[in-house]
Amino acid sequence: MKTFRILTTCALASALLVYSCKKDQSGADPRYPVLPDETYKYDGIQPNANGFNPSGATEINNDKATLGRVLFYENQLSINNRVSCGSCHNQLQGFADNKSFSDGFENKKTLRNTPSIVNPGVQSFYFWDMRESSLSAMVTQPIANHIEMGLEQPEYMIAKLKKLSYYEPLFTNAFGDSEVTGERIGAALSNFVASMVSIDSKYDQAIANNFANFTSEELRGKKLFMEDLPCAGCHGGENFSGWSTFTQNIGLELDYADDGQPGVDWMSGHEQDGWFKIPSLRNVEVTPPYMHDGRFKTLEEVVEFYNSGIQAHDQLSFNLREGWNGVFDSQVIPFIDGEVRPLRLNLSNSDKQALVAFLKTLTDTKSMNDVKFSDPFQHP
């Protein structure tokens, strides 16, 4: 056992030496965070007029969120000190990216489009395949990812932060002492991202005055979205994400290159193919490109896909099939054994424009311009 501990220690030291060399090769200038004398207030988030609380059950602590902000923009949480969480989650783009696939620490492309960070505290599952249910566990996974940030062992992440003097008071303020652990890093990051809420869009403001501030086109789009079309069947609830509890096959392909969530399709008994998380539509105007592979560059393209482009995949969501009435009874048989008939909306140009106009009412620029969510690091 003693020999094993020695070997483990040596292996860790060797790995950190390699990382140190990579740091020197990166050519990055030293950076340090500049924080306000008075801690920013991340707590006290108020619900909208419908009672929707976008921070969910997460209890926001201002000192933990402050530490989380620094960690979110910390380049040293990548193996070669080149990227941070904020590299792919751009504040001005709704904490998403404007690329189909983001650039990792060695400029290799991520395998899926970077999702927006919007109201994560009310989400039940994370990632496009919903493989993680804990927000505090989710936030550290990109750090360990072999393409994104590359610190594949928690010990490396902890050791790098311990070398940085500015973390000692930050951890002490947040947790009562300066000990750096993976659990504490996850807790601080999750506090910060859970405070990134969307709750002040034109839509939220309209709830309180019966949508008197909506244009006629926006009202038409709202009716189409919520009543006439099956949009709200998936993008339901105040977060416009179907409560984030299920994945769907929306017929992007007849045979997906990316299978999405693993599992077995209950209808056919076949392996799931193309099942992905239903994302929130809040701030969707500023988070292109769209879909798990970033294939659509504009909202107009997305609307046209649902209007005329849904593919007849044998695992297609019932909501996107012709004739589906929402009742799971004997009428379902044609959807299991018969030919799949994708929904064709046959929308007019004015209907399409109205849908886009309504989607733009979900934009909330407050967190995108709030200094407390900005990069605190400066070059000397």
What is the per-residue pLDDT across 57-83, written as a single tens digit (0 to 9) for each?
888 999 999 999 999 999 999 999 999
Residue 323: its pLDDT value, please?
80
Kindly tell me the sign of the dihedral angle through the C-alpha atoms of 206, 211, 213, 214: positive
Residue 23: its pLDDT value, please?
43
* Mean pLDDT of all residues in 75-97: 96
CA distance linking residue 153 with residue 156, whole number of Å: 6
Kindly tell me the sign of the dihedral angle through the C-alpha atoms of 187, 189, 194, 200: positive
* Mean pLDDT of all residues in 37-55: 93
Residue 2: its pLDDT value, please?
40
**Two structure tokens written together for 161:** 């932060």
Overall fold of domain 202-360: Cytochrome Bc1 Complex; Chain D, domain 2 (1.10.760)
Residue 211: its pLDDT value, please?
97
Looking up tokens 């076949």, which residue turns up?
270
- Report residue 21's pLDDT band, with 50, 70 and 90 as the boundaries: very low
Residue 326: its pLDDT value, please?
60
Q: Which helix (H) or strand (E) holds 201?
A: none
For residue 209, CA distances in Å to 204, 218, 306 come to: 10, 15, 31
- Report residue 318's pLDDT band, with 50, 70 and 90 as the boundaries: confident
Classify residue 172 as exposed, middle or buried by CB count within 10 Å of its CB (0-12, 13-18, 19+): middle
CATH of domain 28-199+366-378: 1.10.760.10
At 151 the three-state DSSP class reads coil
Confirm if 46 and 199 have CB atoms less than 8 A apart: yes
Phi, psi of 247 (to 5 degrees): -105, 165
**7-44 exposure pattern, b = at least 16 Cβ within 10 A, e = fewer:** eeeeeeeebeeebeebbeeeeeeebebeeeeeebebee
Residue 268: its pLDDT value, please?
77
| Mean of all residue pLDDT scores within the chain | 89
Start and end residues for every CATH 1.10.760.10 domain found in the chain = 28-199+366-378, 202-360
Summarize pLDDT for 238-260 with one digit per residue, the tens: 999 976 678 999 999 999 999 99
CA distance linking residue 354 with residue 225, whole number of Å: 9
CA distance linking residue 64 with residue 185, whole number of Å: 9
Q: H helices of 27-80, where?
A: 62-72
